[in-house]
Amino acid sequence: MEEVSGPATQYVDALDEPGIEALKMVAALGSRNLAGRVAIVTGGGRGIGRLVAEALAGAGAGVAVTARSEDQLAEAVASITSKGGTAIALPGDVSDPDSVTDVVHQVERRLGPVDLLINNAGISGPVGPVWEVDAGEWWRTFGVNLQGVFLFAHAVLPGMVARRAGRIINVSSNAGAFRWPLASAYAVSKAAVIKFTENVARETKNYGVKVFAIHPGLLPIGMTTAALEGTFPSESPEGRLSSWARRRIDEGYGATPESAVELVLLLGSGEADALSGCYLTVHDDLWAIMAQAQEVRAQDLYTLQVRRPARIPASDPVPLPS
């Protein structure tokens, strides 16, 4: 069976045990100095979003966490401030333009100009064959996974471009780089996030802004929790996806929360700016990739492209903008 995403269609409301354990390890990742930086983390009240917010604050950044659940946000901020960090909670809906604009304005007023945006909020959407899923739920997935990424980028980019500085990290998934049947809304929306990242990176390359798409790995927290802990009929779409998630993790193909956080910290610190526009994963050897940054740029590596046999040349008459 080809790779597919976890079946959860709703957010997991509480930070689970693996997440709590990861919080203890995240403290060790705060060696990078982000003092004076201002960061926004969407979906920052739970799962990997909360861990990223904790780590950014631990590295000295002022962090704004936003999500729909006020209780989760309050817990995240309380955890950060109890350790001496700076954080504010801003409830909002990433798919609502007015809500996004208000969040960004509040961050700028209370913390300062935004240096770092982590577009983490996401849902997995409906599970099942395309002809059976609910059309409204299919499109709603794009409202969160893609429109939310666009709206926050659209809101912070004018300031970043004017200051000739800023970084945006869009959390995508291998679902967007490979075929993931039975989770088409999730897969296609995440593919769009990767391609959006490539375009924005190219548009902003002369303005000092760096943009990345990342795959944080198959994690034992957040949305994956429902797939790992749920009980579904074995032959149902949900059951097939649940079995796949358990099997992948059991076979060692999952990722640890701290490795995902470390990837965000590294990109957010500026150490990998030469890879702006790339789709990077927790499984990549980032140091090796950075050592080959010139080749990566010259050959458009780590991007979504159509693969053609060498004997069949492309005949597209439209030149790509440089």
Q: Which residues participate in catalysis according to the annotation? A: 172, 186, 190
Report DSSP letters for 216-248, one per residue. Answer: --S-SSTTHHHHHH----TTSHHHHHHHHHHHH
CB 133 within 8 A of CB 185: yes
Q: Name the phi and psi angles at 222, rounded to 5.
A: 70, -140
Cα–Cα nearest to 167, from 120, 116, 118, 207: 116
Token pair belonging to 170: 């869009």
Residue type, 273: D
Q: Are 44 and 77 in contact (CB under 8 A)?
A: no
Of 152, 47, 157, nearest to 92 (Cα)? Answer: 152
Contact 184, 215 (CB under 8 A): no
Q: First and final CA of the chain: distance in angstroms?
A: 39
- The CA-CA-CA angle for residues 263, 44, 208, to 5°, reads 50
Instruction: Work out the burial of residue 20: count CB atoms within 10 Å of its CB; fewer than 13 is exposed, 13-18 middle, 19 or more buried.
Output: exposed
Task: Tell me the CA distances in angstroms from 220 to 79, 106, 108, 144, one per residue in order.
Answer: 21, 33, 34, 22
How far apart are the C-alpha atoms of 175 and 282, rounded to whole Å? 14
* Residue 303 Cα distances to 17, 40, 272, 297, 317, angstroms: 35, 25, 16, 10, 21
Q: Is-contact 157 199, C-beta < 8 A? A: no
Q: Are the beta carbons of 64 and 155 closer than 8 angstroms? A: no
Q: Helix, strand or coil for residue 214?
A: strand
